Structure 1
Amino acid sequence: MDIEIQLQQVFDLPPGQVREISQYFVEETVGKGEFFLGNGQRADRLSFIASGIFRVFAQTESREVTQWIGGEGYFITDLSSFLFDQPSRWQIQALTDAKVLSLYKSDYQRFESLLPQWNVVEKRFIAKCFMVLESRVFDFISLSAEERYLQYFEQHKAFFNQVPLQFIASVLGMTPETLSRIRSKVGG
């Protein structure tokens, strides 16, 4: 997916401004297993995943929790760390070889002076992030484990051949055994 198309969809800017912003994104490669962001580091970039798959996870006292898995066409960062300069509580790791287009924080901060309506655009972007989170919370409290699995499988079929199933189970809020039982029952 093209970075300009994604910027247009996410930030809803006129084409000229999308081209201007896209010039600040720098191509980077991340090898399979490499960390894009470590626990306690400060997120210094917002990146668009051009290819590959990443997972966002944290280690609790008793287990590792995968919060999100994302592939081509998604943005990736620890948003609270990036926006508020806090140490990240999340780790971000490449599950496959990956290519990202990264916007570093110093350039991101310039947009306020470059684009007169940047505050409105940024507010809309953060609202969209919140809507995704809200939808995910709703799914967790309103759908059964089987319904969550079926929905996730429908939206991310390719992950099931490329991502360890224990990570997918964690994203879905279930044990690997529960995921295995559901897969045996419904297929996939």
Structure 2
Amino acid sequence: MNIAPEVNDFTAFIQQYFGLLGTEDLNTIRHYFREEKLSKNEFFTKSDQVCNRLSMVKSGILRIYALSDGKEITQWLSVADTFITEAVGFFFNQPNRWNIQAFTEVELLTITKTDYHKLCKEFPKWNEIEKQFIIKCFMMMEDRIFSHLSMTAEERYNRYFEHHKELFTQIPLQYIASVLGMTPETFSRIRKRQAEKS
């Protein structure tokens, strides 16, 4: 049975992304989110489906990937304290481009698309929160594009390692190589050089 998330967890998560909100506002938002668990390898959503929920990751790792010419391309790895959805499906009601799959057991705080629309009507301030969320998404996209255009492969590796060091021992390294836009061979060479320096 789904239950409302704990106040402290939810409050910290929301305020981390959107700043301070009053208790009444937080209670209104919290009412629409439910706890959800995914087993390892279970899909959050698949390509060609239409994603019907937006979630906050409490724990675990999800992989966002697509198939191209028979090969899997990992676009992102979502970890605790991040949002997860397939934006084209959730916001524009179009078939997903990406698969989102639990790499480990995952705990989520989830709002369905139906409840999301109800929240927008009941709580007009959510429209501003949504705008901030979309702005953060665009900022992240721009940051990734900038890094791919302006940074060397080794600089991208070092930056990702600095922010996600724990992933390097938790998942296959070819997934990280794909996120960074490099071949596994290039990734391995850089990793070896970094190990020799330390």
Regarding TM over 0.5, the answer is yes
Matched, 1:99 2:107: yes
* Structure 1 unpaired stretches of 5+: none
Residue 113 (structure 1) shift: 1.7
Q: Which deviates further from its counterpart, 98-107 or 20-29?
A: 20-29
Q: Which deviates further from its counterpart, 85-94 or 21-30?
A: 21-30
Given that residues 8 and 15 in structure 1 are in contact (C-alpha distance below 8 angstroms), is that contact kept between their aligned partners in structure 2? no
Q: In structure 1, what is the equivalent of residue 57 of structure 2?
A: 49
Q: In structure 1, what is the equivalent of residue 9 of structure 2?
A: 2
Q: In structure 2, what is the equivalent of residue 15 of structure 1?
A: 22
Q: In structure 2, what is the equivalent of residue 109 of structure 1?
A: 117
Q: In structure 1, what is the equivalent of residue 4 of structure 2?
A: none
TM normalised by structure 1 equals 0.94
Give 4+ residue runs of structure 1 displaced > 4 Å after superposition. none
Residue 62 (structure 1) shift: 4.8
Q: In structure 2, what is the equivalent of residue 82 of structure 1?
A: 90
Match among 178, 184, 187 for residue 170 of structure 1: 178
Residue 157 (structure 1) shift: 0.7
Q: In structure 2, what is the equivalent of residue 25 of structure 1?
A: 33
Residue 63 (structure 1) shift: 2.2
TM normalised by structure 2 equals 0.90
Residue 35 (structure 1) shift: 1.1
Given that residues 32 and 119 in structure 2 are in contact (C-alpha distance below 8 angstroms), is that contact kept between their aligned partners in structure 1? no
Q: Deviations over 1:54-96 (max 9, x none)?
A: 1101111252111100111011010121011111010001111
Report the 3-state secondary structure (helix = DSSP H, G, I; strand = E; otherwise coil) of the residue aligned with 2:48: coil
Report the 3-state secondary structure (helix = DSSP H, G, I; strand = E; otherwise coil) of the residue aligned with 1:111: helix
Given that residues 39 and 106 in structure 2 are in contact (C-alpha distance below 8 angstroms), is that contact kept between their aligned partners in structure 1? yes
Report the number of matched residues: 188
Alpha-carbon distance between aligned partners in 2 of 1:121 and 1:13, rounded to the nearest angstrom: 11
Matched, 1:126 2:134: yes
Alpha-carbon distance between aligned partners in 1 of 2:14 and 2:109, rounded to the nearest angstrom: 12
Task: Read off the aligned partner of 2:38 and give its amino acid letter.
Answer: V
Alpha-carbon distance between aligned partners in 2 of 1:153 and 1:3, rounded to the nearest angstrom: 28
Given that residues 88 and 97 in structure 2 are in contact (C-alpha distance below 8 angstroms), is that contact kept between their aligned partners in structure 1? no
Residue 138 (structure 1) shift: 0.5
Given that residues 11 and 122 in structure 1 are in contact (C-alpha distance below 8 angstroms), is that contact kept between their aligned partners in structure 2? no
Task: Read off the aligned partner of 1:93 and give its amino acid letter.
Answer: Q
